[in-house]
Amino acid sequence: SIGDIRLTTLTGFGIRLNDIKVDEDLLEVGSLKLRLSLLPLLKGRIEFSRIIIDKPSLLLKRDREGNWNASQAAEGDKLKTKKPSEPEGKDDISFKILTALLVSDLEIKNGKVRLQDVSSKKPVSLLSIKGLNIRARDISLNNPINIKGTALLDMDNSKPTMIELTGTVGPVGGTMDVKGMPVNIVLKTKDIDLSSYKSFFGLTKDNKLSGHGFGDIIIKGKAWDPAIAGKINLGNLEYSYIFGPADENKKTGRIRLTEIKIPLEMQGRIINLSELNFRLYEGSSKIAIHIDTNKKEPHIMLKPDIASVQLEPLLKDLALSKINISGPLSLNASIRAYGMDKDTMLAKAEGDGFFIIKKGMVNGLDLIDVIVNLATLTASKTKRIDKVTEFDEISGRFRIENGYLKTDDLKLIGSNLSIAVRGAYGLLKGELNFDVDAKVDDNHVELKITGTTDKPKYVLKTKRIQQNIMKGVVKGLEKGKIDEKDVREILKNILK
């Protein structure tokens, strides 16, 4: 629909169309100004000296099936329009007319582009561009068109990112195939402020995201399905979050990354980050990420490769657990996850990996405290006061199957302590099912761990171990080396 049409003569002969709307909310244009060149018109050519598109607003929406409203509008028009019989040679005539159509100067002023996912009840903003200003000169249908412009990428109405764009579009050709039109555009960003991308990453108001950087992105291929490639460099990134019950006991955690280099590749609904590099707490890290949302059940593939990350400051910042471990962590893994939500992805996750922590200390881990205290009873000694355990190595291979994290060779090796663990941990409900074989000095302890991470249960596996502990307790009590209160506390919920 068009609000009104006016002839213009003050700045040259032309036409002005106001309040243009295409397919309801798909496209709106404040005004379209067409200025004709009179001399070419006398020679039988339609040439516009200038076209100005003022305040265009394009809203692209993707539904549950992955279809865009622009595609549906185009298909609907094809169904509604009955193709009449055409005279012989009309295609050739139309092509000659179209190739004669020239525009000396095309300008888009103050445009907007919005991409939304409306597959759920609440629309999700995928992309928002405002302040779009583009200029193109010497436009024809059978030659590539050089364009240059600027735009503001504005996700949270806070600190938009300035984008400079240069490149070519077209040629469109005589068929006017806009979807298949070639594009080759370079986007440059000078100052990316991550604090304005919270909604893009689905973060709530309690979460904070900060960091700055720059990037170059190339869009190349067919207009409706281009290949996107480029690099984004961030000097730093900090993500802060609040977690815990909805009361005064809420906790705050964070994670910090530096020297982040993101190689981006995107085609259709496939996103590929071949090698995302960053520094993480003094260590070098990289991760390959592949996301495919073409199918009904999207899947993600992750391949992290972490080297010499200092665990103590990392765990302190994360603040997710009372457990504290120091030492450099190295990890290599391959993980695949499927589904639309977190629980489905955890239930269907699969993969494997290996990690190692060398020359560090651990405290706050109940399993070590239980093992060491049982061993002290066996040796007729008092309860351990110092709960910091030094180790030479903590390492193990793991695999993820059917919602469980499994290991056969998790081990801790220290000067007077060794622990070997095998079993499974439930990723959804936190179930524990582990067999533990430990040695403290010359004292041997075997445990079965069940229950959950919130309420673990420790059971001595053999009567021989129980008897050795009881002998040590009796001997220690007789000689006054063990306090009865310590015995009750250590053996609580263990001997059964």
Provide the 8-state DSSP code for 195: G
How would residue 106 be classed by pLDDT, with cut points 50, 70 and 90? confident
Q: How do residues 11-39 score in pLDDT, each as one tens digit? A: 667 888 898 888 777 888 888 888 887 77
Question: What is the chain's length?
Answer: 496
Residue linked to tokens 């059971």: 459
Query: Hey, what are 82's tokens?
Result: 């009955």
Q: How do residues 308-352 score in pLDDT, each as one tens digit? A: 999 999 999 998 888 899 999 999 999 999 888 888 888 999 999
d(CA 365, CA 68): 52
Q: What is the pLDDT, as a whole number, of residue 245?
A: 65
Integer angstrom CA distances of residue 89 from 71, 95, 206, 306, 375: 30, 10, 66, 66, 97
Residue 257 is which amino acid? L
Q: How do residues 171-194 score in pLDDT, each as one tens digit? A: 876 666 667 889 999 999 988 998
For 312, phi then psi, to 5°, come to -60, -55
Please state which of the ranges 279-288, 303-312, 435-444 shows the lowest mean pLDDT. Answer: 435-444
Higher-confidence position of 96 and 278: 278
d(CA 112, CA 69): 17
Residue 74 has pLDDT above 70, yes or no: no
Residue 243 has pLDDT above 60, yes or no: yes
How would residue 76 be classed by pLDDT, with cut points 50, 70 and 90? low
Tell me the pTM: 0.77
Calculate mean pLDDT across residues 246-254.
75
Return the closest-CA partner of residue 61 out of 111, 22, 113, 19. Answer: 113
The chain-wide mean pLDDT, for the chain, equals: 83
d(CA 439, CA 302): 36
Q: What is the pLDDT, as a whole number, of residue 326?
A: 95
Residue 251 has pLDDT above 60, yes or no: yes
Q: Is residue 89 classed as helix, strand or coil in its secondary structure? A: coil
At how many degrees (to 10) do helices 366-378 and 484-491 cross?
130
Q: Which residues of 309-318 are buried (b: 16+ CB within 10 A; e: fewer)?
A: bbbeebbebe
Query: Hey, what are 250's tokens?
Result: 């809420």
Q: How do residues 471-488 score in pLDDT, each as one tens digit? A: 766 676 666 666 666 666
d(CA 433, CA 450): 5
Q: Which residues pair with 439 in a beta bridge?
A: 418, 444
Return the closest-CA partner of residue 50 out of 112, 138, 167. Answer: 138
Calculate mean pLDDT across residues 61-84.
60
Provide DSSP, 356-381: EEEEEEEES-HHHHHHHHHHHHHTT-
List Cβ neighbours of 308 (8 Å cut-off, separation of 6 or more). 282, 283, 284, 328, 329, 330
18 and 6 Cβ atoms separated by less than 8 Å: yes
Return the closest-CA partner of residue 442 out of 411, 472, 422. Answer: 472
Higher-confidence position of 352 and 417: 352
Q: What is the pLDDT, as a whole number, of residue 66?
A: 64
430 and 408 Cβ atoms separated by less than 8 Å: no
Residue 128 has pLDDT above 70, yes or no: yes
Query: Hey, what are 255's tokens?
Result: 């994670």
d(CA 467, CA 148): 83
Q: What is the pLDDT, as a whole number, of residue 301?
A: 95
Q: How do residues 136-162 score in pLDDT, each as one tens digit? A: 887 777 788 899 999 998 876 668 889
Bridging pattern class, strands 102-117 and 47-62: parallel
Evaluate the CA torsion angle 376, 382, 388, 392 in order and state its sign. Answer: negative
Cis omega before residue 171 (within 30°)? yes
List for the chain the helix, strand, coil content (%; round to 5).
Answer: 15, 55, 30
Residue 225 has pLDDT above 50, yes or no: yes
Residue 96 has pLDDT above 70, yes or no: no
Q: What is the pLDDT, as a whole number, of residue 99?
A: 46
Q: What is the pLDDT, as a whole number, of residue 373?
A: 78
Q: What is the pLDDT, as a whole number, of residue 20?
A: 86
- Using a 10 angstrom Cβ sphere, with 0-12 exposed, 13-18 middle and 19 or more buried, the burial of residue 172 is buried
Q: Which residues of 392-422 are buried (b: 16+ CB within 10 A; e: fewer)?
A: eebebebebeebbbbbeebbbebeebebbbb
Q: What is the pLDDT, as a whole number, of residue 198?
A: 81
The rounded percent of the chain whose pLDDT value lies above 70 is 80
d(CA 225, CA 407): 44
- 86 alpha-carbon distance from chain centroid: 52
How would residue 214 be classed by pLDDT, with cut points 50, 70 and 90? very high
> HEC string of 232-249?
EEEEEEEEEEEECCCCCC
Query: Hey, what are 300's tokens?
Result: 């993600």
Residue 247 has pLDDT above 70, yes or no: no
For 488, phi then psi, to 5°, come to -65, -40
Q: What is the pLDDT, as a whole number, of residue 398?
A: 97
